[in-house]
Amino acid sequence: MSPAPVRGPEHLTLALPKGRVLAESAALLTQAGLPLELPGPSRALRHEFPGLTVLELRNQDVPVYVDLGVADFGIVGKDVLVESGRAVFEPVDLRFAACRLSLIREVGAAGPITRVATKYPRSARAYLAAQGIPAEIVKLSGNIELAALTGLADAVVDLVQTGGTLRANGLEERDVLFHSSARLVVNRTALKLRRERLRPLIERLRELVAAG
């Protein structure tokens, strides 16, 4: 493990997820005054700007980097944050990437739920326990809806936004576990050590979100 570079309190390290959250995060942070111009398609995983390092991560890794303090702050979906179980400070609901985590079955499916497929086992387990449903949970990595279509599972827990994926596949939403949107997350120690930069940034993001 190479030692982490020593950075002064004026330097910030930001964790951003690849994928659908990236572009809007970069646009919002630019509006908030960060010197952030991510390159187009590139294999680079770390980008350096004046006073700012940006790490490009998988969604699930953002809470890990922020909680362990390798990144001072980041942006990630509430769904991923809940699933991570990490108690990072979550000062701003950024409102974009809005969707919900739902229980889904084939249209008209009846009978008990005995096996549930999901990318969100922790959230699914908590929900099933609260409902008193003693189902097995199968962790999958993507295209979760296919598990209900193929009989791998008799229900799935997955994200719904427009409902287009459900309609296209003869599935229906039976319950909503919780609503999700992108969140600003901040390492608690960094908030103290780098407060002169992080506090104004949090305030600016709050204002931008409130202004819609």
Ligand X SMILES: O=P(O)(O)OC[C@H]1O[C@H](OP(=O)(O)OP(=O)(O)O)[C@H](O)[C@@H]1O
Ligand Y SMILES: Nc1ncnc2c1ncn2[C@@H]1O[C@H](COP(=O)(O)OP(=O)(O)OP(=O)(O)O)[C@@H](O)[C@H]1O
Residue 154 CB, nearest approach to ligand X (Å): 18
How long is the chain? 212
Residue 34 CB, nearest approach to ligand X (Å): 26
Helix or strand holding residue 48 (H, E): strand 46-49
Cβ 141 vs Cβ 59: under 8 Å: no
Nearer to ligand Y by C-beta: 135 or 157? 157
Establish if 19 lies at the interface with ligand Y (CB under 6 A). yes
* Euclidean distance between CA atoms 102 and 64, whole angstroms: 24
Residue 146 CB, nearest approach to ligand X (Å): 9
DSSP state of 43: S
Residue 199 CB, nearest approach to ligand Y (Å): 26
Site map (CB under 6 A) of ligand Y, residues 48-77, x = contact? ----------xx-----------------x
Nearer to ligand X by C-beta: 31 or 165? 165
Helix and strand numbers, DSSP H then E, in the chain: 8, 11
69 burial type by CB count under 10 A (0-12 exposed, 13-18 middle, 19+ buried): middle
Cα dist from 205 to 48, 63, 65, 185, whole Å:
22, 19, 21, 12
Nearer to ligand Y by C-beta: 72 or 83? 83
Residue 101 token pair: 């985590």
Which of ligand Y, ligand X, none interacts with 143 (beta carbon under 5 to 8 A by kind)? ligand X
Site map (CB under 6 A) of ligand X, residues 149-168, x = contact? ---------xxxxxxxx---
> Which position has the token pair 């570079």?
5
Residue 161 CB, nearest approach to ligand X (Å): 4
Binding site for ligand X (CB under 6 A): 142-143, 145, 158-165
Binding site for ligand Y (CB under 6 A): 19-21, 58-59, 77, 79-80, 97, 99, 159, 161, 180
